[in-house]
Amino acid sequence: MSLRSLVRHVYRPIHTSAARHSHIGKVPIPLPASVTLTLPPLSVSPNLPPSSSQAQRVFSVTGPLGSATLPLPPSVILKAPTPSSPSISVSVHEPTAKAQRSMWGLTRTLISNAVTGVSTGFNLEVRLVGVGYRAAIEPIPSVFLELAKQRNPHSTAPLPHERLNIKLGFAHPVLIDIPPDIKTTVPAPTKIILNGTDKQKLGQFAATIRQWRRPEPYRGKGIFVGDETIKLKEVKKK
């Protein structure tokens, strides 16, 4: 047996079928009537350096819930909506190039999330599962707000004015400041509803809450986000 055939025999592929790629980038993004766009140049040369002024393209969208901006890489091509087709199409200069193909689907998803966020928003449910677990919303004491202003006197970012007070079985309550751009409600002591226009920030805030009590597989206790479930493990008997 030759060396080439030996290597091919030892490192033979597990799957014989060809790799299938996602085609999400080709799907047009529908635009609601309540949304307005500010489109940059629809196409620029993909060989432009990222630091050049022509490569600095920003996609802006405004809706009833707010506005969002998104930088576009030079390799991405946009097709503007028309009266007969009120949707945005995304493509790239070289679909066979791996880097451009990956940016194709990513950019299309980010634009779609921005359009959905400013038009209808995103909702995320956080559930507390455990004896004695409960949550409430309370205002942040003014003394802490004054300390935050003194710490960053030149900051123009809005300060949070409310926080979550969560009981998770610790000797102390867990206090988490609520970002100003995320609307938070507690319809039940064990349920937290998060609402916002930025899907990434919403998921990051939910992850910040979840990290205090990650779901454990023996008693099923913890903080669950969205449709998250966990398979319980059987406790070994002595």
**191-216 pLDDT, tens per residue?**
999 999 999 999 999 999 999 999 99
Is residue 76 domain-shared with residue 135, that is, in the same domain?
A: no
Q: Is the pLDDT of residue 116 over 80?
A: yes
User: Would residue 132 count as lying in a domain?
Assistant: yes
Mean pLDDT (the chain) is: 88
User: Would residue 5 count as lying in a domain?
Assistant: no
Q: Are 169 and 133 in contact (CB under 8 A)?
A: yes
> Alpha-carbon distance 164 to 98, whole Å?
44
**121-139 pLDDT, tens per residue?**
999 999 999 999 999 999 9
Is residue 63 domain-shared with residue 111, that is, in the same domain?
A: yes
**Model confidence at 7, in pLDDT bands (50, 70, 90)?**
very low
> Alpha-carbon distance 206 to 55, whole Å?
34
User: Would residue 8 count as lying in a domain?
Assistant: no
Is residue 109 domain-shared with residue 141, that is, in the same domain?
A: no
User: Would residue 105 count as lying in a domain?
Assistant: yes
**216-235 pLDDT, tens per residue?**
998 899 999 999 988 888 87
The three-class DSSP label of residue 89 is strand
CA torsion through residues 157, 197, 65, 165, sign? negative
Give the orientation angle of helix 98-119 with respect to helix 199-210, to 10 degrees: 90
Is residue 90 domain-shared with residue 164, that is, in the same domain?
A: no
| The predicted structure's pLDDT at residue 208 | 97
Task: Give the pLDDT mean for 27-34.
Answer: 92
Is residue 52 domain-shared with residue 73, that is, in the same domain?
A: yes
**Model confidence at 171, in pLDDT bands (50, 70, 90)?**
very high
Task: Give the pLDDT mean for 31-57.
Answer: 89
Question: How many structural domains compose the chain?
Answer: 2
Task: Give the pLDDT mean for 66-79.
Answer: 93
User: Would residue 64 count as lying in a domain?
Assistant: yes
User: Would residue 10 count as lying in a domain?
Assistant: no
For residue 104, the domain's CATH number is 3.90.930.12
Is residue 112 domain-shared with residue 129, that is, in the same domain?
A: no
Place of tokens 């500010």: 38
User: Would residue 13 count as lying in a domain?
Assistant: no
User: Would residue 32 count as lying in a domain?
Assistant: yes
Share of the chain above pLDDT 70, in %: 90
| The predicted structure's pLDDT at residue 32 | 92
What is the DSSP secondary structure assignment for residue 32, as one 8-state letter? -
pTM of the full predicted structure?
0.83
Structural domain containing residue 195: 122-146+159-225
DSSP bridge partners of 122: 196
> Alpha-carbon distance 194 to 64, whole Å?
18
Q: Is the pLDDT of residue 23 over 80?
A: no
Task: Give the pLDDT mean for 50-55.
Answer: 84
